[in-house]
Amino acid sequence: MTTEFTTIGLVGRFQTREVGESLAAMAAFLRTQGVTVLIDASTAAATDIQGYEAVSVEDMGARAKLVIVLGGDGTMLNAARQMAEYGVPVVGVNQGRLGFMTDIARDNMLEGVAAILEGKYTRDERVLLEAEVFRSGSSVFHTLAFNDVVISKGDTGRMIELEVKVDGGFLYVLRADGMIVATPTGSTAYALSANGPILHPSVRGLAIVPLCPHALSNRPITVSDESVIEVTVAAPYECRFHFDSVSRFDAQAYDRILIRRSERVVTLLHPQGYSYFEMLREKLHWSSTPRY
């Protein structure tokens, strides 16, 4: 088969046996299509898959034309964020539970990937967040987030206090368990359970969602994705900054975090016929028959 994706990287959620089996089947199928197969080194070590080149994230980003993720949304989040640095598109095979971003079902994964190799797909560019933490005026932490940046009270049993600004303009002092800044992709994740809005991926916005606010009038608000959101931890509070639930930073009083849209984007490939609204109906069980 002639395809634009001549070298494909595979990343798997390697905690389960089923993923190892699916990974081996996918690698073997790609080889029959004349594709060079690269296996993420951590995935290869955990699944003990043999006969394929195991590579680092950096090497995969430099060489792969496409990365296929076999796992759930967490695995997809991590791989998509890593590949964004290299501009490599990502497609997901759902091996988890909900699978908001992993479009291809495991039962017909070979047929779904075959169609993408034939060019039957749609390309979807998604926003990434860039977050930088400052302490005493100096930058002390910097990272990216695909879903969200979460500010939480951490181990403390009481609310925290946060001063929130948007584009330098004062928004409010929030007394709450914390807050979420979510991309449209992340609007169906943690922010959704906190009554945040669902943002279509084409919406150029970021959702600011309070977590259990003391004032019931503190409601979620959507701002432009060109905005810079600035949050300062009020004294004497301490808290934690979480980034896609993958990395975290333990913040002190007066620490300041700046959250803005990154110049990089995540590129997702969807099978032909993909519908965001159909995905929502399926995953959130809308229009289903009530059970009594």
The residues of the chain scoring below 70 in pLDDT are 1, 14-18, 96-99, 288-292
Please say whether the beta carbons of 122 and 272 come within 8 A: yes
Please say whether the beta carbons of 64 and 55 come within 8 A: no
> How far is residue 40 from each of residues 7, 73, 78, 99, measured CA to CA in Å?
13, 17, 12, 21
Asked whether residue 105 is assigned to any structural domain, the reply reads yes
Q: Residues 132, 251: one domain?
A: yes
> How far is residue 1 from each of residues 109, 123, 257, measured CA to CA in Å?
17, 21, 49
Hey, what amino acid is at 50? Q
Asked whether residue 64 is assigned to any structural domain, the reply reads yes
Structural Rg of the chain based on CA atoms: 20
Cα 161 to Cα 283: distance, rounded to the nearest angstrom: 34
Q: Residues 113, 230: one domain?
A: no
| Res 17: pLDDT | 63
Hey, what amino acid is at 218? N
**Segment 67-119, tens digit of pLDDT:** 999 988 888 899 999 999 999 999 999 876 666 777 888 888 999 999 999 99
Asked whether residue 147 is assigned to any structural domain, the reply reads yes
| Res 86: pLDDT | 96
Q: Residues 83, 145: one domain?
A: no
Q: Residues 208, 253: one domain?
A: yes
Q: Residues 218, 105: one domain?
A: no
What tokens appear for 240 in the block?
Answer: 């934690």
| Res 105: pLDDT | 83
Of the three residues 119, 147, 170, the one that is the final residue of a domain is: 119
**DSSP for residue 217:** T
Q: Is 250 a catalytic residue?
A: no
Q: Residues 35, 135: one domain?
A: no
| Res 197: pLDDT | 96
Q: For residue 108, what is the domain's CATH number? A: 3.40.50.10330
Domain of residue 213 covers 128-263
- Residue 58 is inside which H or E element, if any? helix 57-63
How many domains are there within the chain?
2
Asked whether residue 111 is assigned to any structural domain, the reply reads yes
Asked whether residue 103 is assigned to any structural domain, the reply reads yes
Q: Residues 252, 214: one domain?
A: yes
CA–CA–CA angle 160, 165, 167 (5° rounding) = 155
Of the three residues 93, 119, 145, the one that is the final residue of a domain is: 119
Cα 257 to Cα 129: distance, rounded to the nearest angstrom: 12
Q: For residue 256, what is the domain's CATH number? A: 2.60.200.30
Please say whether the beta carbons of 87 and 81 come within 8 A: no
Q: Residues 252, 145: one domain?
A: yes
Asked whether residue 171 is assigned to any structural domain, the reply reads yes
Q: Residues 197, 223: one domain?
A: yes
Of the three residues 119, 146, 169, the one that is the final residue of a domain is: 119
Among residues 48, 59, 73, 225, which one is catalytic?
Answer: 73
Asked whether residue 96 is assigned to any structural domain, the reply reads yes
Helix axes 17-32, 109-117, angle to 10 degrees: 40
Q: Residues 103, 162: one domain?
A: no
Alpha helices in 121-237 (DSSP H): 190-193
Asked whether residue 136 is assigned to any structural domain, the reply reads yes
Q: Residues 84, 137: one domain?
A: no
